[in-house]
Amino acid sequence: MPDDRFARAFKTAWFSKAARKARIRDGALMQSVREAMRGQADDLGGGVFKKRLNDNQHRSILLAKGGKLWVFAFLYAKKDRANIDPDELVAFRKLAQAYGRISPSELEQALKEGDLLELSDDH
C-alpha cells in the first residue's frame, strides 16, 4: 500500500469554488486522495481519475503525478451529467501530463498566485 504521508494534494481555484458551493471540505478531499492511492477510484488512464464525493452526489476529476502530487481539477453533480465527454478526457490527460512536468518552483508560483491551493486535513 502506498505511503500517503508523502503525497501532496491540491485543488485548482475553480475546483475550490465549486467544492465550497457543494459543501465539500478539504478533509473529505484528503480522504478521497488516500482512497485513490489505495485504488478506490475509477482510473480513466493517463493520470486521470474519477472519484465520487459527497455521499455519491458529486464526481470529481483528480489528476495524479506518480502518486506523489494529486490535483482536484473538475467537479460536477451526478444529477447534472453522467460523465465527462471524450474531448474533456483528452484535455484532462494533457493537464495531468503538464502537472507531471511541473517543477518545484513552478508549483510554488502557482500556490503563490492562487492558481492552486494546497489541501490539508485541517479546516
pLDDT digits (tens, 9 = 90+) for 18-58: 999 999 999 999 999 999 999 999 999 999 999 999 988 99
pLDDT band at 70 (very low <50, low <70, confident <90, very high): very high
Residue 123: predicted pLDDT: 45
| C-alpha–C-alpha distance, residues 105 and 108, integer Å | 5
The pLDDT tens digits for 74-120 are 999 999 998 899 999 999 999 999 998 999 999 999 999 999 999 98
Whole-model pTM above 0.95?
no
Whole-number Å distance between alpha carbons of 20 and 22: 5
- Banded pLDDT at 66 (limits 50, 70, 90): confident
Q: Which of 24, 70, 68, 19 lies closest to 48, judged by CA? A: 70
Q: Angle 107-111-116 (CA atoms, 0-180°, nearest 5)? A: 90
- C-alpha span between 12 and 18 (Å, rounded): 10
Q: Residue 114: what pLDDT?
A: 96
Q: Is-contact 71 60, C-beta < 8 A?
A: no
